[in-house]
């Protein structure tokens, strides 16, 4: 609690310095307040439709919606808790929840019979981020994952592979096959072989962790103790850095753009890329992320969670709204509109996902995905991971040195309050 209060006070100071005064405007009694991150025009329209349905079923509940941005939304939420003006219901990223739930500011949802089914219907890997010390504090709402995008035209031009390359979950589709494909495309000089995500805040670790998991590694053990310098983790970073032999390093946005332009043969990205690829002049397809040395290929899963303010004066109404927007039919409709997957496993097999372009690949990958470790210090650890991976990419440290330094720094951070 001490650490969270310190962070919140710091965040509040920053907000006051920049003259953000929203927290001082007062709270209208009897109004249910909901903060979320769906602010793009199409997203806002989907949210408006969801809220309209809620008003139809519960016309006597007045609802106020506050749109946040990913750039500063977390800071605003923290400041709201500090000033006792936090929303009644709030959306959180999967890697944020532990910082809030461990600080006692979220409502325990263990005993609500209308909400408990949402936990039972979600994938097992999506439950820990919403838990703390064996209790539920945040409901899994939306999920997404990443797969490999392959430019078929560049692949064919390499003359070493064909579209029929077996890239399903079996021993034929592995790291060596992916590397050979990237090398062949690169050496054909018709495009870059594979994209390597370099320094890119809050994104680089999402590209690196699948290599760790798919090599049988883990950065923490079951007790939350760092295990970053284990051999399988060092080998994962070595392979990640080796990608620079066959392709460029860049940010996620730059490499997304390079693939859409047809200049990149292999790229690890998410479903947000699908609309941009709808009308490109080249052929492409997606495949699962491969495993190594007999391990299954595990991708990164991101998630959106919903939690209730423990100090809310509108808890009954907040629970009604939470149950409504996570109800399978409503959750599915909203997920489809914003191009993500519902947390409900059954809904992930809805015809919309299975029949859309590459839908079966994404759905299958969701069954082979993991989330970040559930520790309150995760965001600090994340920064350490990205810093050390960047040093390995820039050759200022070897992969072994980077992972050992990552281990030392993580242990030191975990020892702090």
Look over the chain and give the mean of its residue pLDDT values, rounded to a whole number: 90
Tokens of 50: 């969801």
- Domains (range + CATH), the chain: 2-144+302-370 (3.40.190.10), 145-300+375-414 (3.40.190.10)
pLDDT for the residue 73: 87
pLDDT at 15 > cutoff 50: no
- pLDDT band for 157, please (50, 70, 90 cuts): confident
pLDDT for the residue 9: 42
Q: pLDDT (tens digit, 9 = 90+) per residue, 97-143?
A: 999 999 999 999 998 899 999 999 999 999 999 999 999 999 999 99
Per the model's pLDDT, the better-predicted residue between 5 and 299 turns out to be 299
pLDDT for the residue 382: 96
The mean pLDDT of 393-398, rounded to a whole number, is: 98
Q: pLDDT (tens digit, 9 = 90+) per residue, 265-313?
A: 999 999 999 999 999 999 999 999 999 999 999 999 999 999 999 999 9
pLDDT at 389 > cutoff 80: yes
- pLDDT band for 211, please (50, 70, 90 cuts): very high
Phi (first) and psi of residue 132, to 5 degrees: -150, 120
Q: Strand 249-250 to strand 131-132: parallel, antiparallel, or no bridges (unpaired)?
A: unpaired
Euclidean distance between CA atoms 24 and 201, whole angstroms: 31
pLDDT at 166 > cutoff 90: no
Ranking 159-163, 380-384, 401-405 by mean pLDDT, the lowest is 159-163
Per-residue HEC secondary structure of the chain comes to CHHHHHHHHHHHHHHHHCCCCHHHCCCCCCEEEEEECCCCHHHHHHHHHHHHHHHHHCCCCEEEEEECCCCCHHHHHHHHHHCCCCCCEEEEECCCHHHHHCCCCECCCCCCCCCHHHHHCCCHHHCHHHEECCEECCEEEEEEEEEEEEEHHHHHHCCCCCCCCCCCCCCCCEHHHHHHHHHHHHHCCCCEEECEECCCCCCHHHHHHHHHHCCCCCCECCCCCECCCCHHHHHHHHHHHHHHHCCCEECHHHHHHHHHCCCEEEEEEEHHHHHHHCCCCCCEEEECCCECCCCCCCEEEEEEEEEEECCCCCHHHHHHHHHHHCCHHHHHHHHHHCCCEECCCHHHHCHHHHHCCCHHHHHHHHCCEECCCCCCCHHHHHHHHHHHHHHHHCCCCCHHHHHHHHHHHHHHHHCCC
pLDDT for the residue 167: 52
The mean pLDDT of 71-76, rounded to a whole number, is: 87
Per the CB < 8 A criterion, the answer to whether 368 and 362 are in contact is: no
Distant-in-sequence, close-in-space partners of 124: CB < 8 Å, separation ≥ 6: none
What is the C-alpha radius of gyration for the chain, rounded to an integer number of angstroms? 22
CA atoms within 13 A on the CB side of 113: 0
Beta bridge partners of 37: none
pLDDT at 161 > cutoff 50: no
pLDDT at 147 > cutoff 60: yes
Per the model's pLDDT, the better-predicted residue between 321 and 24 turns out to be 321
- pLDDT band for 356, please (50, 70, 90 cuts): confident
pLDDT for the residue 80: 93
pLDDT for the residue 72: 87
Ranking 12-26, 236-250, 326-340, 362-376 by mean pLDDT, the lowest is 12-26
pLDDT for the residue 163: 43
- pLDDT band for 160, please (50, 70, 90 cuts): low
The mean pLDDT of 248-252, rounded to a whole number, is: 98
pLDDT for the residue 159: 67
């Amino acid at each position: 609690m001490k650490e969270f209060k310190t962070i919140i006070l710091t965040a509040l100071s920053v907000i006051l310095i920049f003259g953000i005064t929203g927290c001082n405007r007062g709270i209208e009694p009897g109004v249910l307040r909901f903060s979320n991150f769906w602010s793009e025009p199409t997203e806002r329209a989907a949210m408006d439709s969801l809220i309209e349905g809620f008003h139809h079923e519960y016309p006597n509940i007045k609802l106020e919606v506050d749109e946040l941005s990913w750039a500063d939304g977390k800071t605003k939420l923290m400041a709201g808790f500090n000033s006792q003006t936090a929303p009644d219901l709030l959306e959180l990223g999967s890697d944020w929840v532990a910082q809030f739930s461990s600080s006692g500011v979220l409502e325990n949802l263990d005993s609500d019979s209308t909400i408990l089914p949402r936990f039972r219907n979600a994938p097992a890997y999506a439950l820990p981020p919403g838990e703390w010390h064996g209790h539920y504090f945040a409901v899994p709402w939306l999920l997404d994952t990443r797969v490999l995008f392959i430019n078929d035209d560049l692949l064919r031009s390499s003359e070493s592979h064909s579209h029929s390359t077996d890239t399903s979950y079996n021993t034929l589709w592995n790291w060596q096959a992916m590397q050979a494909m990237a090398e062949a495309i690169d050496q054909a000089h018709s495009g870059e072989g594979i994209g390597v995500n370099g320094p890119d805040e809050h994104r680089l670790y999402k590209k690196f962790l699948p290599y760790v998991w798919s090599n049988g590694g883990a950065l923490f053990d079951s007790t939350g103790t760092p295990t970053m310098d284990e051999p399988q983790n060092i080998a994962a970073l070595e392979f990640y850095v080796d990608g620079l032999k066959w392709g460029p390093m860049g940010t996620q946005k730059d490499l997304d753009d390079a693939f859409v332009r047809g200049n990149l043969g292999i790229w690890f990205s998410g479903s947000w890329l699908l609309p941009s690829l709808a009308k490109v002049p080249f052929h492409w397809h997606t495949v699962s992320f491969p495993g190594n040395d007999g391990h299954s290929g595990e991708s990164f899963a991101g998630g959106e969670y919903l939690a209730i303010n423990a100090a809310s004066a509108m808890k009954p109404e907040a629970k009604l709204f939470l149950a409504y927007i996570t109800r399978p039919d409503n959750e599915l409709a909203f997920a489809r509109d914003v191009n993500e997957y519902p947390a409900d496993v059954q809904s992930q097999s809805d015809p919309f996902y299975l029949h859309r372009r590459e839908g079966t690949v994404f759905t299958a990958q969701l069954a082979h995905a993991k989330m970040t470790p559930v520790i309150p210090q995760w965001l600090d650890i994340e920064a350490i991971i990205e810093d050390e991976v960047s040093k390995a990419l820039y050759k200022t440290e070897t992969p072994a040195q980077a992972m050992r330094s990552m281990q030392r720094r993580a242990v030191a951070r975990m020892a702090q309050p």
